[in-house]
Structure 1
Amino acid sequence: MSLNIRKVKNDDLDQLVALINIAYRSESSRSWTTEKYFIAGHRITKQQLNYELEQSLFELFVAENELGEIIACIGLTFDKTSVEIGTFAIDTTVQNLGYGREMLHFIEGYVVRYYPVITRLIMYVLDVRSELIAYYQRRGYQVTGRKESYPIEAGVGQPLVATQLIELEKVITRNIYEKSSRKF
């Protein structure tokens, strides 16, 4: 099944808040990326999502299945020569079916096509999420050694264990994506 990936619309917000909170803070038989055992509380509120969407350097994409249901999202925050990937969530009932890989590949191609000055893709992952770090490493992201404290003040949950964020980076190799003819 192929996804219909598009930019977020205002009427998607309630569904997205639910999707993000479930993907990050709950667990189903298919889920493997949960933070449930490491972080308590909501991952995002509608107000926080609205605030992010108002930022001029932020773009959010959603993926719909063949029924038009939103099953994934991924966000981009742009800097001069880099883009931070975040707000990345896949519906727990369809995790481990390749949709995360498809979303990541789509975003990488999108950045290459529309933002030629961007040379680096970065993301931050909880250091206790070794399986998630390994997943991104298999997709070409490398641990940079840079670390940040967990952002408790951002209202994105309360750590249940000692944790910090580690940075992963992928240097863009444009020729991999330039042949993509997909419209955005």
Structure 2
Amino acid sequence: MSLKIRKVKNSDLEQLVKLINIAYREQSERSWTTEKAYVQGDRIGKVQLEKELQQPNFELLVGELDNDEIVACIGLSLNDDCIEIGTFAIDPCVQNQGYGRELLNYAELYISQNYPRVRDLVMHVLDVRTELLAYYQRRGYQITGRKSEYPIEAEVGQPLIPIQLIEMKKSLLRHKKSHDKLEQSWL
């Protein structure tokens, strides 16, 4: 079963706040993306999400199952020549079923098609999340060596241990070239 992926609607906010907080801050059997052991407190509130959605350089894509239940989201923040990926959450009840890979693939293709000047995708991952760092490396993202402090001022939770954010980057130029070659081979 694949996701129905679309842009966020105002009527999605309550469901998205719940999804994001469950994915980042709760632990369940299937969950492997939780930050519960490292950060306490909500990851996002409704007012924060509303403010993000009002930013002209921010888009949020959501993934739904056939019953219109939102089970995934991914945020795209447009900067000069890169897009930062964040607010990437998959409901722990459906993790390990390929929905994260599907949504990330969709987002990368969406960016390639809608933002042709964007060269790089950037994301920031907690340094203690070695399994996530490895997952994104398998997806073509490379650790840049840049680190930053956890953004306490952003009100995205309080660290329980010393943590930093690791920057990861993926070049879209290779992706665009291979996409162009694929299109040419079909002509």
Q: Which has the higher helix share?
A: 2
| Residue identity matched to 1:5 | I
Give runs of aligned pairs for residues 13-28 of structure 1, distance below 5 A. 13-28=13-28
Give the structure 1 partner of residue 163 of structure 2. Answer: 163
- Offset, 1:177: 4.0
Deviation at 1:65, TM superposition (A): 0.4
Compared CA separation, residues 12 and 101, structure 1 to 2 (3 A) = same
What is the percentage of aligned positions where both structures have the same residue? 60
- Which consecutive aligned stretches of 4+ in structure 1 deviate over 3 angstroms post-superposition? 175-180
Structure 1, unpaired ranges of 5+:
none
Q: Deviations over 1:42-99 (max 9, x none)?
A: 0000000000000000000000001110000000000111000000000000001110
SS of 1:122's partner is strand
2:177 alignment counterpart: 175
Deviation at 1:26? 0.3
SS in 1 for 2:75: strand
TM-score normalised by L of structure 2: 0.94
Q: Contact 1:13/1:46 (CA < 8 Å) preserved in 2?
A: yes
1:76 matched to which residue of 2?
76
Cα displacement string for residues 15-55 of structure 1 (whole angstroms, at most 9, x for unaligned residues): 00000000000011111010000000000000000000000
Question: What does residue 148 of structure 1 align with?
Answer: 148
Q: Report the TM-score, using the length of structure 1 for normalisation.
A: 0.96
The alignment of Structure 1 onto Structure 2 pairs a total of residues equal to 180
AA paired with 1:17?
V
| CA distance 1:40–1:88, change in 2 (3 Å) | same
1:1-20 superposed Cα distances (whole Å, 9 cap, x missing partner): 01100000000000000000
Larger Rg, first or second structure (1 or 2): 2
Helix, strand or coil at the partner of 2:118: coil
User: In structure 1, what is the equivalent of residue 63 of structure 2?
Assistant: 63
Task: Give the unaligned 5+ runs of structure 2.
Answer: none
